[in-house]
C-alpha cells in the first residue's frame, strides 16, 4: 500500500474500496474479500444503505478497528448543525464504531456552512480524524471557505481518463486539499479505450490496473468497486509498477469532460 498525507498530517491509503450500489450479503462478502487481499480503506455513505453491512464485515474480519480507514458521508437532506450531528451519530452506530477516519459532505447543498460547523466540532473533539467534502467544484469550496475555520482535507470527485478535471485538480493541490476519485473506471467504459488497451499490453497489466495506477501516480486517492473476488484482488495489485511520465500524459490526453454521474452544478437529489 502507498499513502498520501492529508493537510492535518493524517495518512490516507492511496487505494480504497468503494461500496456504491452494493447491498446486503453482497456487500458483506465484497468488503470481506477486499480486506482479505489487503484493503484497509473502505468508502461508504449513509445513502448507500450499506453502512451496517460494511460494519459487519469489518467486525467479522477480526482485524482491529485502528487498522482501518473508514469513510462515510453526510447525505443531502441531513444539512444544518443539528441534522449533521445526528447523521454522524447514526452512521457511527450503523458502522459499529465510535469515530470516523473521514467524514464528507456528500454533495454541495444549502446549509453546508452549518453542517461544516458541526463537522469542525466533531473533528476538534477527536470523533473524526479528517473532514472533507465530495463533488465540490472550486466555487463551492470558495463559498465554504467564507465561514469555515478549518479547511476541508479531502474533495472526493468523479475523475477518470475521460474526466480529468485539470483546473479543479490544480486548485485542490494549491489549497492543500487531497483529491479522491470515484467512478475511476467509468462504470466499465474504460475497457473500450484503445490507448488503455495498448498500455495494458505494454505493462502486462489489466486496463483497470493501468487506470488505478494512473490515479496513484497523479497523487489521487482512488476508490474502485467490484463484487467479484478476482477483480477485487486484481484491482489491489497496482503497487508493483509505475507508469512512465509519457504514458501518464497519454492518458491525461484522453479527457473529453464526459461524466458518468451528475454534475455538481446541476443535480436534483
Q: What is the DSSP string of 166-212?
A: HHHHHHHHHHTPEEEEESTTGGGGGGG-HHHHHHHHHHT--HHHHHH
Which residue among 3, 39, 48, 81 is the active-site one?
A: 48
**CATH for 59:** 3.20.20.100
DSSP H helices, the chain, are 24-37, 51-60, 81-95, 112-124, 138-145, 166-175, 194-203, 207-217, 229-236, 245-252
Q: Give domain status of residue 252, yes or no.
A: no
| pLDDT of res. 200 | 98
Q: Give domain status of residue 128, yes or no.
A: yes
Q: What nine digits make up the cell of 251?
A: 492518458
Q: Give domain status of residue 201, yes or no.
A: no
Q: Give domain status of residue 90, yes or no.
A: yes
Q: Give domain status of residue 72, yes or no.
A: yes
Q: Give domain status of residue 269, yes or no.
A: no
What gap in Å lies between CA 109 and CA 27, rounded to an integer? 28
Q: Give domain status of residue 248, yes or no.
A: no
Q: Domains in the chain: how many in total?
A: 1
User: Could you confirm whether 136 is annotated as catalytic?
Assistant: no
| pLDDT of res. 107 | 98
pTM of the predicted model as reported, rounded to 2 decimal places: 0.97
Q: What nine digits make up the cell of 70?
A: 473508514
Q: Which residues contact 84 (CB under 8 A, 6 or more apart)?
A: 74, 78, 114, 115, 118, 119
Per-residue pLDDT of the chain (269 residues; tens, 9 = 90+): 999 999 999 999 999 999 999 999 999 999 999 999 999 999 999 999 999 999 999 999 999 999 999 999 999 999 999 999 999 999 999 999 999 999 999 999 999 999 999 999 999 999 999 999 999 999 999 999 999 999 999 999 999 999 999 999 999 999 999 999 999 999 999 999 999 999 999 999 999 999 999 999 999 999 999 999 999 999 999 999 999 999 999 999 999 999 999 999 999 99
Q: Which domain range does residue 32 map to?
A: 9-188+220-237
The phi and psi torsions of 47 (rounded to 5 degrees) equal: -70, -15
The phi and psi torsions of 50 (rounded to 5 degrees) equal: -140, 15
Query: Euclidean distance between the first and final Cα of the chain, in Å?
Result: 35
Q: Give domain status of residue 92, yes or no.
A: yes
Can you say whether residue 2 is alpha, beta or left, with left for phi > 0 and alpha for psi between -120 and 50 degrees?
Answer: beta
Q: What nine digits make up the cell of 166?
A: 485539470
Amino acid at each position: 500500500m502507498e499513502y498520501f498525507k492529508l493537510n492535518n498530517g493524517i495518512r490516507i491509503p492511496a487505494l480504497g474500496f468503494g461500496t456504491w450500489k452494493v447491498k446486503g450479503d453482497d456487500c458483506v462478502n465484497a468488503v470481506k474479500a477486499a480486506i482479505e487481499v489487503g484493503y484497509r480503506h473502505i468508502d461508504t455513505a449513509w445513502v448507500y444503505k450499506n453502512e451496517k453491512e460494511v460494519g459487519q464485515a469489518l467486525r467479522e474480519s477480526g482485524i482491529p478497528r485502528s487498522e482501518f480507514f473508514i469513510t462515510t458521508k453526510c447525505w443531502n437532506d441531513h444539512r444544518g448543525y443539528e441534522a449533521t450531528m445526528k447523521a454522524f451519530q447514526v452512521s457511527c452506530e450503523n458502522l459499529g464504531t465510535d469515530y470516523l477516519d473521514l467524514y464528507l459532505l456528500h454533495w454541495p447543498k444549502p446549509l453546508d456552512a452549518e453542517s461544516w460547523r458541526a463537522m469542525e466540532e466533531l473533528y476538534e473533539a477527536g470523533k473524526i480524524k479528517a473532514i472533507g467534502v465530495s463533488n465540490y467544484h472550486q466555487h463551492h469550496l470558495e463559498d465554504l471557505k467564507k465561514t469555515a475555520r478549518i479547511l476541508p482535507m479531502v474533495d472526493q470527485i468523479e475523475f477518470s481518463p475521460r474526466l480529468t478535471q485539470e483546473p479543479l485538480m490544480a486548485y485542490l493541490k494549491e489549497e492543500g486539499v487531497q483529491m479522491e476519485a470515484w467512478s475511476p473506471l467509468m462504470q466499465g467504459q474504460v475497457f473500450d479505450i484503445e490507448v488503455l488497451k495498448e498500455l495494458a499490453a505494454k505493462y502486462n497489466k489489466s486496463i483497470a490496473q493501468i487506470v488505478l495506477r494512473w490515479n496513484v501516480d497523479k497523487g489521487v486517492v482512488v476508490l474502485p468497486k467490484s463484487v467479484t473476488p478476482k477483480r477485487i484482488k486484481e484491482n489491489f495489485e497496482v503497487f508493483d509498477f509505475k507508469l512512465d511520465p509519457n504514458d501518464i500524459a497519454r492518458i491525461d490526453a484522453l479527457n473529453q469532460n464526459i461524466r458518468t454521474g451528475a454534475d455538481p452544478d446541476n443535480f436534483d437529489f
